[in-house]
């Protein structure tokens, strides 16, 4: 190994030439049929933020009167200007009518000028739509600390409004992409206990800088069901907890994260706080979207599920799961398909939980037992671990033997491509 600053000769195995194919997400395909949501219209076009004229970079979502809307934003202290403006507009109590989303520029780290830019974009939507400026929420994703090209956005707004249509969910999903290789979207239609149906459709983006609270991701989910505000807020909290707040690619929390859940009420079907069928469907939609981010993670070749059972608390279970998921040594072993499970063991042991008893820990890789009651399983053979590591979808299961709480986290491996993509992100 050469020290930093030493000259290293290139050879045929140079890592920059050994990267996987970024155009092949792990088990992720183009979205299927996306169902329209009564009360939602969408438009997407190229306004010039991105250099390629064939790539959409501006999206508008129009929301009908009477809809309820619930939101979650990043916890990053350097939150982007659109996050600040969106929070302020929500506090005004004015009903939200439009969501304006641009990709290719995060409008983060831009100070007062970024704030004014976000406001100006909202004002232009409000002027053309005959609405209050507070009824417009801005969202941005892309490069941090670059000035938002306001003129390009405002010039495109009349065309955006003209193109609004309830069937343009896929266009919108494509318009919010950054390093994503595929649009991420899903629809689900469920039959309620009274035999009536309601529909849920959602889109998301995200590929890197992914970590709970939330991540460099945007998500917009809508339903035609009627859901009162307190119930909608609670359902969003529950759905977020076991989806977008249970994924990680690299442990980085972004400046621009946002998730919006809209209930238009246009179906006339009212959802109560006890409607488990609806909540289960909503969680399925959220988990599909969040797992799509992991399957399309920057440089990913593996989709990894980490389940921690029998913990004293869910907090303890999540701590163990995320310690494994964030370990560079574990993630590089996953990329190499190397059954070096000592790295997983070490991650469990350093998890910050006071009650860990290594004598009660079981560890599985897929169906193969690696560790039983803190000791290597007598039936384990290297070829069994290798067979599990050779899969694209890998499951790591940990049983702490201490209680009844469980948590599941989804992550990816760490490949040459991840470094290459992020090293060249602005080039």
In contact, 388 and 105? CB cutoff 8 Å:
no
Distances (CA, A) of 36 to 72, 100, 201, 262, 279: 23, 19, 7, 13, 20
- Residue from 216, 225, 226 nearest 259 by CA: 216
DSSP-assigned letter for residue 360: G
- List the Cα angle 56/57/62 in 5-degree steps: 95
Measured CA to CA, the distance from residue 41 to residue 164 in angstroms comes to 5
What is the C-alpha to C-alpha distance for residues 80 and 113, in angstroms, rounded to an integer?
A: 12
Catalytic residue (choose from 71, 204, 216, 368): 216
CB 191 within 8 A of CB 225: no
Q: Classify residue 351 by its DSSP letter.
A: S
Active site residue 197: no
Q: What share of the chain is helix, strand, coil (3-state, %, to 5)?
A: 35, 25, 45
Number of other residues whose CB lies within 10 A of the CB of residue 117: 24
Q: Where are the alpha helices (DSSP H) in 135-275?
A: 150-162, 169-175, 229-241
* Residue 73 · residue 254 · CB < 8 Å: no
Rounded CA gap, 417 and 30, in Å? 22
Angle (CA) 23-410-77 rounded to 5° is: 95
- The secondary structure of residue 361, as a DSSP letter, is -
What are the CA-CA distances from residue 61 to residues 58, 136, 140, 153 (Å)?
10, 10, 14, 15
Active site residues: 216
């Amino acid at each position: 190994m050469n020290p930093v600053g030493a000259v290293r000769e290139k050879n045929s195995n140079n890592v920059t030439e050994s990267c996987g194919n970024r155009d092949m997400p792990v088990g992720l395909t183009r979205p299927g049929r996306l169902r329209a949501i009564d009360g939602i219209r969408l438009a997407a076009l190229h306004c010039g933020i991105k250099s390629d004229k064939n790539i959409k970079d501006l999206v508008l979502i129009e929301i009908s009167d009477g809809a309820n809307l619930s939101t979650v934003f990043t916890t990053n202290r350097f939150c982007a200007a659109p996050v600040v403006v969106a929070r302020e507009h929500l506090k005004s109590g004015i009903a939200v009518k439009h969501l304006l989303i641009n990709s290719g520029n995060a409008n983060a780290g831009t100070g007062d000028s970024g704030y004014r830019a976000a406001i100006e974009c909202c004002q232009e939507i409000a002027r053309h739509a005959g609405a209050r400026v507070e009824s417009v929420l801005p969202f941005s994703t892309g490069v941090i600390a670059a000035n938002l090209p306001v003129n390009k956005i405002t010039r495109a707004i009349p065309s955006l409004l003209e193109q609004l249509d309830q069937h343009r969910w896929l266009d919108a999903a494509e318009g919010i992409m950054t390093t994503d290789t595929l649009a991420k979207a899903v629809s689900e239609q469920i039959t309620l206990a009274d035999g009536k149906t309601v529909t849920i459709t959602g889109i998301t983006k995200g590929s890197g800088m992914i970590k709970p609270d939330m991540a460099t991701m945007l998500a917009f989910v809508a339903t035609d069901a009627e859901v009162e505000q307190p119930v909608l807020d609670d359902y969003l909290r529950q759905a977020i907890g076991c989806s977008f707040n249970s994924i990680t690619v690299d442990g980085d929390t972004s400046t621009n994260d946002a998730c919006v859940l809209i209930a238009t009420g246009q179906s006339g079907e009212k959802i109560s706080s006890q409607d488990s069928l609806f909540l289960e469907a909503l969680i399925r939609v959220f988990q599909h979207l969040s797992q799509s981010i992991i399957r399309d993670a920057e440089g990913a070749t593996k989709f990894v599920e980490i389940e921690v059972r029998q913990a004293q608390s869910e907090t303890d279970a999540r701590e163990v799961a995320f310690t494994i998921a964030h370990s560079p040594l574990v993630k590089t072993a996953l990329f190499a398909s190397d059954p070096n499970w000592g790295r997983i063991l070490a991650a469990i042991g350093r998890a910050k939980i006071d009650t860990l008893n290594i004598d009660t820990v079981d560890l599985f890789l897929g169906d193969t037992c690696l560790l039983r009651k803190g000791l290597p399983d007598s039936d384990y053979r290297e070829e069994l671990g290798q067979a599990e590591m050779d899969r694209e979808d890998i499951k790591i299961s940990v049983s702490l033997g201490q209680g009844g709480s469980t948590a599941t986290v989804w992550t990816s491996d760490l490949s040459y491509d991840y470094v290459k993509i992020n090293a060249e992100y602005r080039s």
